[in-house]
Structure 1
Amino acid sequence: MEKDSNNKHLPDPENPYKLLDLKLTKVEKWAAGVPAVMAAVSDLIGEKTLIRGTRALFKMNQVGGFDCPSCAWPDPDDERSPLGEYCENGAKALAEEATTKKITAEFFKENSVYDLAQLDDYSIGKMGRLTEPMYMPQNGTHYQPISWDDAFKKIAAHLNALATPDEAAFYTSGRTSNEASFMYQLFAKEYGTNNMPDCSNMCHETSGTALRPTIGIGKGTVKLEDFYDTDVIIIIGQNPGTNAPRMMSALEKGKKNGAKIIAINPLPEAGLLGFHNPQQISGIIGNGIKLADLYLPVKINGDMALLKALELLLLDFEKKSPGEVLDHAFIGEKTTGYEVFLKQFEAYNLEELATASGVSAALLYEAAQMMAFKKRIIVCWGMGLTQQPNGVDMIKEILNLLLLKGSIGKPGAGVCPVRGHSNVQGNRTMLIDEKPTDEQLDRLQHFFGFNPPRKHGYDVVRAIKAMQEGKVKFLFCMGGNFLSATPDTTYTAQALRKLNLTVFVSTKLNRSHLIHGKEAIILPTLSRSDIDRVNGTHQIVSTENSMGVVQSSKGVLKPVSDHLINETQIACRMAMATLGNKTVVNWQLYHDSYDAVRDAIEKCIPGFENYNVRVRQKDGFYLPNAARDGQFLTKQFGDRAPFTLTTVPDNTLAPDEYMMATTRTHDQFNTTIYGLDDRYRGIKNERRVIFMNQKDIDLAGFKAGDKVDLFNYDDGIERIAPLFIIVAYQIPERNTVTYFPETNVLVSVNNVVKESNMPASKYVKIRIKKHDPEIYKRINQL
């Protein structure tokens, strides 16, 4: 346990090292159904908001209502269900926003930061909504109340005392609205830095890094309606049943219309296998619908070998049926590098690729056969790919596959990165980006009249290192739970504690508030579902979903406190306090009017013409997407999409090593723990578990239920995650899965995805040893 300069014990950055009461239940082969409805209702009851929350649920994702604060799956362009356009986890997210439980100044007076840190993340998150600004003085033990004016004065004093603007960093969570995001990044740029790490740096930065140079846009190319009328849907490294449950309705519709579904994942997730639609009789009392026609149990990071094997097989099908498998007209008109791409397959062998992937040659042949004579193919992926060290290359390989088939830029075909948080894509569109382009900065300069900084800033990983090295001394977090979301927890905690000031804009308490800088401020804000009144007018904000639709969101709940301020006004007030008469931006105008913010966005970001009118239309509007229309406007290759040469990685493990991937439980969204029931995987009342293949358990001399400690030795540093329970599971040999954030401590800050610099949390080499009660002494010495 660390001590500060005054020899005072500091709160541990990890969840408490204690076990609860693990109960193994049935592993499910289908998702949703009545249990999902009951779980949603249970959370509303638990948050003491059954009537208030239920009323709000019927406004969530509805026209004239508010956008779900959970995932970014799009709402239907056609009719929306009157029974409710939400899923179980969306309902749980709303329950925590609509809760009647409150955290007041009296709560912080009675509970020290050290005492709060002894609780697990689940318990911390269930305390209720934050109600007023709080301040932690240097060497303090308890947060104490502070006025909004004094909070902004203190923030301004710290920012203006820095030697250079680049000693500050401004983090953004994916729930922040377009309006707040735009004003936030505008302040950072006028202040003088592009240090804007954001949650995209940890989830889909890899997708954008792969897509922009190949198809000209860092977003997906399909609409929701494409799922309804397609031939093949491939889901790779993504679990829709937990991470985007409303996606299953689209898969169900596509399946009923004749689509085949191929699921590729190390774990046979329930949401990949079957779906009981709770809005249909067949989903309540019937057998539901089988989703995956074929499940391929790929090894962790065996995806590249699998994709190469499918391409090898498709080329063989083409030789036997010339002109019927590959789209040669598309390849000739729309691509470049085809001949060089083909030549590599002279060196590949199907059996070797099958072994490297962990999937039998017979299953690979069956998958290729499903695709061979089809042209409308959609490929979806999530962090199972983006958090691999070669994730950029794997997504480029997916594009290679689609380019061979001509399956992109046409109806029923294309790429679909399934985004996590509800406006993470909108944040990037609003210029939340540590690497803005000159064109973007030129437009800001032309409209606002100041010259934004041109030097690229820090992403999340680089920001953590800069904090550790003393190059960043101030961190402002617009939402999120920075500590628990990031890798290498011990290293990150040390970095945060070196900062002069940490500021967190939050709706609820989380562990990042407890592992803070020398001084810390918590600014409580309105949630998406709260009524937001500015000068007496009920405001709308806007968000962008995974498929590029910008739509309005209007809160319906009376805020739990009169002391909450919306995020747009927080950004504006910070700007006015910090910049004073040096600013050339009319911050007061934007503070008082979201319409004025949208007018500014319209002038600075292409695609937002007539923003204030179109955002108020029933279904919002689509942003331009040339790749969706079959135009691949790349800087290097003009109007052609390049075939990319990639390699199959060597995933050799030492005899006592295992590959580990982190994942969420079903009762979790990002770092928010809704409950302790990972219902689909059969894990109840415990999070400190490690899923292992039974053969590996036997070979290592363990038994299911044994207590073990987990170790990582990247960079020559010992990292320890103690006290986990072994659970036997259907998973490839030498592969293991654990929950995050409990094992983030094992993810080295240097274990990153090439090119995108994201933490490679799905590719961690570990050793597993019998639990040693003395292990905590070693942890305290790290």
Structure 2
Amino acid sequence: MSRTPDTPHHDPAGQDADTPFDDRPAGGWGSLKGVSRFMAEPGRKAEALEVLSKLNKPGGVMCTACAWTKPEGPHKFEFCESGAKATFWELDGNRADAAFFADHSVSDLRGWHDHDLEKAGRLTEPLLYDAESDRYLPVSWEAAFAEIGAGLRAVAPEEAVFYASGHAGLEASYLYALFARAMGHQNLPQSSNMCHETTSVNLKTFIGTPVGTCTLEDFDHCDAIFFFGQNTGSNSPRFLHTLKAAVDRGCRIVTFNPVRERGLISFADPQSASQMTFGKPTEISEKYFQVRPGGDIAVMAGMMKCVLAAEEARPGTIDHDFIRDQTTGYDEMIAAVAAFGWDEIEAQSGLTRAMIEDAAEVYLSADRVIGIYGMGLTQHVHGWLNLGMYCNLLMMRGNLGRKGSGISPVRGHSNVQGQRTVGVGEKSAHMPAEKLRALFGIDAPEAEGMNAVHACEALLEGRVKAMISLGGNLLRAMPDRERIEAAWPRLDLSVSIATKLNRSHLAPGRVAYILPCLGRTDEDVQVTGRQSVSVEDSLSHIHGSVGIARPPSDAVRSEVAIVAGIAAATLPPNDRLRWREWTGDYGLIRDLIAETFPDDFADFNAKLFQPGGFYRGNPVRDLDWKTDSGKARFTVPTTLSALGQEPEAAELMTLVTLRSNDQFNTTIYGFSDRLRGLEGSRMIVLVNRDEMARLGLAEGQLVTLECAVEDGGERRVPGLKVTAYDLPPKCVAGYYPELNPLVPLGYHEKNSQTPAYKGTPVRILA
């Protein structure tokens, strides 16, 4: 592409050829090369290959890499590059054992990169931090449980926090939620607090369900799919097979994203001999528009104006029967949308009216539409309005509650949705008090608990004294990391249940334990034999999972056994809390889940290995709206931007944080971001070339990013290399979690407190 000096580099409908990008399709040989790199590393390759042969298949191992659904009729290889990396990563041949910790103090390990910490290998035995030697030392399980139990009994229930990542199965998660309430608190923050809590809180208000409404079958019947703020190619690559099949039968796909992500542009199926040789890859998105960060509300307002214009020209375009019978608030919403002018819609979205009209043409031509979204919509101050406007757009033409249509968030962690389903959450509604009383004689606490942001605020104020983490790397995942990391050692007790060493372990509380647990690939044998666990995918289907690999050591215990062991050592005797029995037979826990949540889990054990998983249902599919009014609710837009603070000053930019092709959440597998054409250091800041010229920046220059939220705090990340990249004006991007320190703890989605990682105002200090 040739350019004159006066030609703008950024074209919101096309690739800037003068900046890094990968012109190859997602999948294809690049994906196989990414997997083969792990094959070349030392490790347990034979076991990994056996696991991969059964990954995401009925009766096999359910992948830990993402929450995308598992089909009833799986492919020969039902895993993707991300799943293969996660499998090899878990079946690491290295061991972070007693000898490793004898050689390395915690102070020493703080100088290691996150990648290298996890590459030290699997944890092999319980560890207790010794402040005198600044080392983690081996300890027996019995001693660990006894001291942890004593530590939890020494604090008031409301001073304890039980965090859960989205990894643990439903069985361990249910016991964890039960344990917290039996102790007397509901402080159960979860990894969804950092990503899709915007969905859980707001979608329930709008349409009466906290989760998406689609099933896999809907993708066989939709005429169009719209993507807002979701990167399928890196975060859920198996979804690409579904999208390819949809495109092949004529479905039209439109994508809005500030970054041009290869997975939604072009895909070559690694299991297709044709596409891997001389055939052409599948073009996924018919139209791809690089919207400004926070500009999705404006896009949807523009599309809705197009729908209104089409209704005026062709009455019946809008589904008036659906609106009359199933919804409230339509007239107020339409009045607000009609009041927005095209000039302000174009300014906020960064797109032209013609571009938005092109997208609306696809929507209007489709009888059945699915709306997909990711954290590009949820991680904003006005994320609630992003989702409200998306529901508005879909409901105008009746695209909820019928086959081939719906709204579908694509979640990351493999069981993050399922943990909520079985009670891991800070609200009383997450686990019915009457069931706890009937089953266990427990009077559940009435006070609502703390989510992740509230827990960290309480930590900073000294109101949290004990922190238990069921998986995850909370210190690295949270915003305002430097403040929180400084406060963490003031905890009286910190306990981390983990498979590998991570950054959170390097800020030990006054008493600190690391308890090694089995991974999902590991065989789990208890007194009644080999056990299975279960997970829920993004499309609300439940799947059984059976680990088959050798555990890293005989001393490692399952998540169920660890949670039950701590609970038994903490709580007063109760004949109905049968922790030992439940540890010996996970089927008993599934029976309890079915009794506690009968509408979702009836006959749980009998359906555990149903091909494709068993569907726990969604009331929206039956036009049953579990809202206060009993109907779906249209949302009145109050602004055209999802940003909490517009970058109006000349020097201000909007920061968007990204995950690379070589990471999963806070786990860094390597330093290749192949699908974006980036390699090497993660300490970079991506900037449009025109913005570089405007701000006087040079390629390769080292700069500091500074947070521009005025709340009295000073937040900076230095040593970032300026890298030219195709982004909208007034926008910069960089990697999560390296840039988390720039996001204030108090800068979050207003209803759910989800951190605004996709829209933080910053300035570049040269």
CA distance in 2, matches of 1:172, 1:30: 36
CA distance in 1, matches of 2:487, 2:353: 47
Check whether the contact 1:233–1:380 (CA below 8 A) recurs between aligned residues.
yes
CA distance in 1, matches of 2:652, 2:132: 42
Whichever residue aligns with residue 342 of structure 1, its letter is I
CA distance in 2, matches of 1:639, 1:615: 33
Which of the residues 742, 745, 758 maps onto 1:746?
742
Which of the residues 502, 505, 509 maps onto 1:517?
509
Structure 1, unaligned stretches of length 5 or more? 1-23, 771-782
> What is aligned with 2:610?
617
After superposition, the Cα gap between the structure-2 partners of 1:238 and 1:184, relative to the gap in structure 1 and judged at 3 Å, is same
CA distance in 1, matches of 2:548, 2:409: 31
CA shift for structure 1 position 138: 4.1
CA distance in 2, matches of 1:210, 1:258: 33
Check whether the contact 2:458–2:464 (CA below 8 A) recurs between aligned residues.
yes
Whichever residue aligns with residue 58 of structure 1, its letter is S
Secondary structure, aligned partner of 2:267: strand
After superposition, the Cα gap between the structure-2 partners of 1:400 and 1:427, relative to the gap in structure 1 and judged at 3 Å, is same
Check whether the contact 2:535–2:542 (CA below 8 A) recurs between aligned residues.
yes
CA shift for structure 1 position 495: 2.1
CA distance in 2, matches of 1:170, 1:88: 32
Check whether the contact 2:54–2:61 (CA below 8 A) recurs between aligned residues.
yes
Whichever residue aligns with residue 151 of structure 1, its letter is A
CA shift for structure 1 position 579: 1.2
Residue 356 in 1 paired to residue 351 in 2?
Answer: no
Residue 367 in 1 paired to residue 359 in 2?
Answer: yes
After superposition, the Cα gap between the structure-2 partners of 1:86 and 1:637, relative to the gap in structure 1 and judged at 3 Å, is same
CA shift for structure 1 position 569: 1.1
Residue 124 in 1 paired to residue 117 in 2?
Answer: yes
CA distance in 1, matches of 2:629, 2:274: 50
Q: Is 539-548 or 624-633 further displaced after alignment?
A: 624-633
Which of the residues 74, 94, 99 maps onto 1:80?
74
Q: Is 533-542 or 613-622 further displaced after alignment?
A: 613-622
Which of the residues 514, 527, 533 maps onto 2:525?
533
> What is aligned with 1:633?
626
> What is aligned with 2:543?
551
> What is aligned with 1:700?
695
Check whether the contact 1:478–1:505 (CA below 8 A) recurs between aligned residues.
yes
Whichever residue aligns with residue 42 of structure 1, its letter is R
CA shift for structure 1 position 303: 0.9
Residue 402 in 1 paired to residue 394 in 2?
Answer: yes
CA distance in 2, matches of 1:424, 1:709: 34
Whichever residue aligns with residue 709 of structure 1, its letter is T
CA shift for structure 1 position 413: 0.3
CA distance in 1, matches of 2:706, 2:639: 29
Residue 386 in 1 paired to residue 378 in 2?
Answer: yes
Residue 151 in 1 paired to residue 144 in 2?
Answer: yes
> What is aligned with 2:726?
730
> What is aligned with 1:499?
491
Check whether the contact 2:600–2:616 (CA below 8 A) recurs between aligned residues.
yes
> What is aligned with 1:691?
686
Whichever residue aligns with residue 401 of structure 1, its letter is L
After superposition, the Cα gap between the structure-2 partners of 1:264 and 1:29, relative to the gap in structure 1 and judged at 3 Å, is farther
Residue 320 in 1 paired to residue 316 in 2?
Answer: no
> What is aligned with 2:751?
755
Secondary structure, aligned partner of 1:542: strand
C-alpha distance after superposition, 1:251-308 (max 9, x if no partner): 1011111110001000111111010110002321222100010011100101111111
Residue 112 in 1 paired to residue 105 in 2?
Answer: yes
> What is aligned with 1:17?
none
For normalisation by structure 2, the TM-score amounts to 0.95
CA shift for structure 1 position 694: 0.5
CA distance in 1, matches of 2:680, 2:93: 25
Which of the residues 307, 310, 317 maps onto 2:300?
307
CA shift for structure 1 position 241: 0.3
Whichever residue aligns with residue 702 of structure 1, its letter is L
Residue 600 in 1 paired to residue 596 in 2?
Answer: no
Which of the residues 562, 581, 599 maps onto 1:589?
581
Moved over 6 A (4+): none
Whichever residue aligns with residue 74 of structure 1, its letter is T
Secondary structure, aligned partner of 1:283: coil
Which of the residues 433, 440, 443 maps onto 1:448?
440
After superposition, the Cα gap between the structure-2 partners of 1:329 and 1:29, relative to the gap in structure 1 and judged at 3 Å, is farther
Residue 271 in 1 paired to residue 271 in 2?
Answer: no
Alignment of 1:647-666 (within 5 A): 647-649=639-641, 651-666=646-661
Whichever residue aligns with residue 81 of structure 1, its letter is H
Whichever residue aligns with residue 646 of structure 2, its letter is N
Secondary structure, aligned partner of 1:340: helix
C-alpha distance after superposition, 1:127-152 (max 9, x if no partner): 11111111103454010000111111
Q: Is 510-519 or 64-73 further displaced after alignment?
A: 510-519
> What is aligned with 2:704?
709
CA shift for structure 1 position 583: 6.7
CA distance in 2, matches of 1:267, 1:56: 34
C-alpha distance after superposition, 1:106-164 (max 9, x if no partner): 100010011111111111111111111111034540100001111111101111111x1
CA shift for structure 1 position 582: 5.5
Residue 176 in 1 paired to residue 171 in 2?
Answer: no
Q: Is 648-657 or 177-186 further displaced after alignment?
A: 648-657
> What is aligned with 1:670?
665
CA distance in 2, matches of 1:716, 1:287: 55
RMSD: 1.4
Whichever residue aligns with residue 33 of structure 1, its letter is G
Whichever residue aligns with residue 186 of structure 2, its letter is N
CA shift for structure 1 position 718: 1.4
CA shift for structure 1 position 662: 0.6
> What is aligned with 1:30?
25
CA shift for structure 1 position 55: 1.6
CA shift for structure 1 position 666: 0.7
CA shift for structure 1 position 49: 2.4
Residue 289 in 1 paired to residue 274 in 2?
Answer: no
Check whether the contact 2:423–2:430 (CA below 8 A) recurs between aligned residues.
no
> What is aligned with 1:347?
339
CA distance in 2, matches of 1:704, 1:159: 53
CA distance in 1, matches of 2:717, 2:343: 37
Q: Is 245-254 or 616-625 further displaced after alignment?
A: 616-625
After superposition, the Cα gap between the structure-2 partners of 1:373 and 1:692, relative to the gap in structure 1 and judged at 3 Å, is same
CA shift for structure 1 position 690: 0.8
CA shift for structure 1 position 518: 1.8
Residue 428 in 1 paired to residue 438 in 2?
Answer: no
CA distance in 2, matches of 1:726, 1:545: 38
Which of the residues 738, 763, 766 maps onto 1:767?
763
Tell me how many residue pairs correspond in the alignment.
742
Residue 719 in 1 paired to residue 715 in 2?
Answer: yes
Identical aligned residues as a percent = 37
Check whether the contact 2:421–2:430 (CA below 8 A) recurs between aligned residues.
no
Check whether the contact 1:336–1:643 (CA below 8 A) recurs between aligned residues.
no
Secondary structure, aligned partner of 2:40: helix
Whichever residue aligns with residue 652 of structure 2, its letter is E
Check whether the contact 1:397–1:646 (CA below 8 A) recurs between aligned residues.
no
CA distance in 1, matches of 2:430, 2:409: 26
For normalisation by structure 1, the TM-score amounts to 0.93
Check whether the contact 1:44–1:53 (CA below 8 A) recurs between aligned residues.
no
